[in-house]
Amino acid sequence: MIQMLSGVWALLLGIVLIMLGNGMHFTLIGLRGGIENFSATELAVVTSGYFVGFLSGARYTPDLIRRVGHVRVFAALGSFMSAGLIAFPLLTEPWAWTVLRLMVGFCMSGIYVAAESWLNNASTNENRGKVLSAYMIAQTLGIIGAQGLLTLGDAGTSALFIGASILVSVSFAPILLSVTPVPAAEVARPMSLRNLFIGSPLGTVGIFLLGSVYATQSGMGAVYGTQIGMTASQIALFVAMLFAGALVLQYPIGWLSDQMDRRKLIFGAAALGALSCAVGWFTGGGLVPLMAAAFFAGGVTTPLYALFLAYTNDFLSVEDMPAASGGLVFTFGLGAIAGPLVTGWAMQTFDPFAFWIVLGVTFAGIALYALFRMTQRSMMPVSETESYLGVLPTASPVAVEAAGVWAADNAEAEREAEDDRAADALS
């Protein structure tokens, strides 16, 4: 493990710092938006703007890297993102925030593409799984840690936004001073939605709905907390619990994924998410039940993302996996754009607790569709499925493709080893 980390520690440190800054800004939008009396609908548009930018960045950054190189793209996007974070308290208008969030989303997506390209290049077939796992843990710890930093200042001032900008600016130093340029990022053209749906209806529909869930949790969670009267510290804890649950539940769900019919696990995880949302709605704002609901609702979201990727890859050839990965990332992004808009409208039309209703209905939709698909396609033998690897919803197509190829190679190696053992037993 130490040998593996020695080659990528600078990248991982930089990612932690970036996620500290980005995680702070995500929650700050909800906190400062409440102070500025932005409506739930306005903040929903602001939230969706980030994911429009994120989706665009995933599409166009590889072209930029091929034209001018990793280092220039990485540094330029980092500069724009840092400037954008400082500009939020200077331009407290919904339209301005939407534009800034679109820019930050584009930059963040491009940063992921560049960083993950370096990370993928620095790893080998033997340690790629561990490297990607360490990368995902670094991201999650950064987001959770960011919530703690929010308690050190007042969202009504510029201090926290400046702090987030400083963290993002500093994060590029260990990366740019230690890594060397690699060949231009190669991202396969995304598979069309039609072909993706034909190959895996559950993977396509499920990941679209999950995009809605993830964007609502990460973007509208702080808005919900503000509107029900939670303090800034309580909101920070609430958002942290969403991601802490993912950190805790990723491993057990991943282990189960390699032991059983993944559709049953998808159903169970989505049902747990729906039940958690029901608890959040019925409790009416009790702090402990809300934190528990956030832990489990957020805890199943990230593992479900990796589950849908693994399940889709089960029915594809290795050659089709890169294109399918791009298609799934694009589909997830479409859901992420739509989710906050629906949730913001519901919170504005009814009450803030519609946050839980929209999440719960979406989780229930995933569970019911998984049940339906069980009646349409026979179960694939566990021995023929691809390996599960925890990939975060924030990952770019570069990491998703790398994880898919690693999972396929690892599953094939395991099958060959099992065949060898069977042959030895017979002889």
Give the percent of the chain with pLDDT over 90: 47
Q: How far, in Å, CA of 28 to CA of 239, rounded?
A: 11
Mean pLDDT within 127-147: 84
Per DSSP, 100 falls in state H
pLDDT at 196: 85
Give the percent of the chain with pLDDT over 70: 85
Q: 366 and 206 in contact (C-beta within 8 Å)?
A: yes
Q: Which residues of 66-82 are buried (b: 16+ CB within 10 A; e: fewer)?
A: eeeebbebbeebbeebb
Please check the confidence at residue 312 and state whether its pLDDT lies above 70. Answer: yes
Q: 349 and 229 in contact (C-beta within 8 Å)?
A: no
The structural domain count of the chain equals 1
Q: How far, in Å, CA of 286 to CA of 58, rounded?
A: 39
**pLDDT band per the 50, 70, 90 thresholds, residue 309:** confident
- Closest Cα partner for 355 from 207, 205, 226, 208? 226
Q: What CATH number is given to the structural domain containing 90? A: 1.20.1250.20
Mean pLDDT within 375-381: 77
Question: Could you tell me if residue 381 is inside a domain?
Answer: yes
Q: The tokens of 232 are what?
A: 């800034």
Q: 202 and 373 in contact (C-beta within 8 Å)?
A: yes
Residue 212: partners with Cβ closer than 8 Å, 6 or more residues away: 335, 336, 338, 339, 342, 362
For the chain, how many residues are written? 427
pLDDT at 418: 63
Query: Which residue's structure tokens are 């130490």?
Result: 2
Q: How far apart are the first and last CA of the chain?
A: 37
- Closest Cα partner for 294 from 217, 231, 362, 348? 217
Domain housing 63: 2-422
- Closest Cα partner for 276 from 257, 297, 252? 297
Question: Could you tell me if residue 35 is inside a domain?
Answer: yes
Q: The tokens of 336 are what?
A: 């992420």
pLDDT 10s digits, 227-269 = 999 999 999 999 999 999 988 998 888 888 878 888 999 999 9
pLDDT at 401: 74
Residue type, 195: N
Q: 220 and 322 in contact (C-beta within 8 Å)?
A: no
Please check the confidence at residue 186 and state whether its pLDDT lies above 70. Answer: no
Residue 31 burial (10 A CB sphere; 0-12, 13-18, 19+)? buried
Q: 390 and 247 in contact (C-beta within 8 Å)?
A: no
Q: How far, in Å, CA of 289 to CA of 279, rounded?
A: 7
Question: Could you tell me if residue 328 is inside a domain?
Answer: yes
Question: Could you tell me if residue 427 is inside a domain?
Answer: no
Q: What is the CA radius of gyration of the chain?
A: 21
